[in-house]
Every structure is written in structure tokens, then in C-alpha cells.
Amino acid sequence: MIYLLTVAADVYKDRDKYSGDNGTRTYKAAYDLIGTNASAGNFDNSDFLGDIDAINIAQILLNNNTKPILNAVQEYYNSLVFSRYKLFYKNKFNSNENNLRLNASNIMIGDHPDITAARVALRGSMQMEVPYYTEEEGEIIANAFADKILDLVASE
């Protein structure tokens, strides 16, 4: 879910297109950018779907460690891909909204050393333009992500 950090850069670029206070504009921009083809920025839809599909395919392999990777990929794209968001929600968050929200929040504002290192790398050597957002802005982006995932799950 490190991709949430990269969407922050696009949110900063796009939020002035929205009306309302800073929090409202940040939320609307994040929600609209996540999981859509609307942006060709740091976090596009192919990245989003690729990350989701990778988690889902990995779960197929975890459930059957003798299955060849090619078979898992074929199984997924032949039938399971049509419920990709429900599978992602189940596989990554145990179909639990609190897990989803906590995980997203931890990525955006948590202090785990791995997450902190990822933020530093994205801002430094990877030059991804990840902004130094406030804790409040990080939480708003995390909530937009959680809401978007729940909406995508509900739409399948």
C-alpha cells in the first residue's frame, strides 16, 4: 500500500481544482484520483490494479503452494478478476473496515521504520515528489482510500 504515498503528490497538484476548505479539497482529489483513469500522475489506474491483482494472485499461491505461478495467474485472470476488489478487501484486510482504515492510516501517518524509510526514499532518491503533508492531510487521504475501496467492493 505504499502507493498511497505517491497519490499524495497528485492530490497536492489537483486539489485546487475542487471547492471547499483544504480538507474537503484534499479528500475529493484523493478519492477521485484513486482507482480511476483520471490522472497520468504518480499513481495511475494500472498501478492501482496491478497492486491489487498481485495481492490477489499471491493469495492464490499461499492457499496452494504447489500451484505453478502461471496457473495462478491464469485462474485469476480467467474468472476471479471479476471480483478483484472483494478479493483484495478479503485478502489484504480480512474484509474488515477497521483493518482497512487502520492500514491506510498507518501508511500515511504511521511511524513504523519501514514506512518512514519508504517516505524518505520516495521523497529523495526516487524523486516521486511525495509532499510533506500534515498528519490531518495524511489521515484525509487514508480515509479517501478506504472509502474508495469500500465503494469499489460494493459495486461488484
Instruction: Look up the pTM and report it.
Output: 0.89
Q: What is the pLDDT of residues 78-128, one digit of tens each?
A: 999 999 999 999 999 999 999 999 999 999 999 889 888 888 887 776 666
As given in the structure block, the three cell numbers for residue 42 are 504518480
Residue 61, CA distances (Å) to 66, 69, 82, 86, 145 in order: 8, 7, 18, 18, 26
The rounded distance, in Å, linking the Cα atoms of 86 and 61 is: 18
In 34-96, which ranges are continuous DSSP H helix? 45-63, 69-78, 84-93
pLDDT at 118: 81
Cα angle 26-13-21, degrees, rounded to a multiple of 5: 30
| Cβ neighbours of 89 (radius 10 Å) | 22
Check: CB of residue 76 under 8 Å from CB of residue 60. Answer: yes
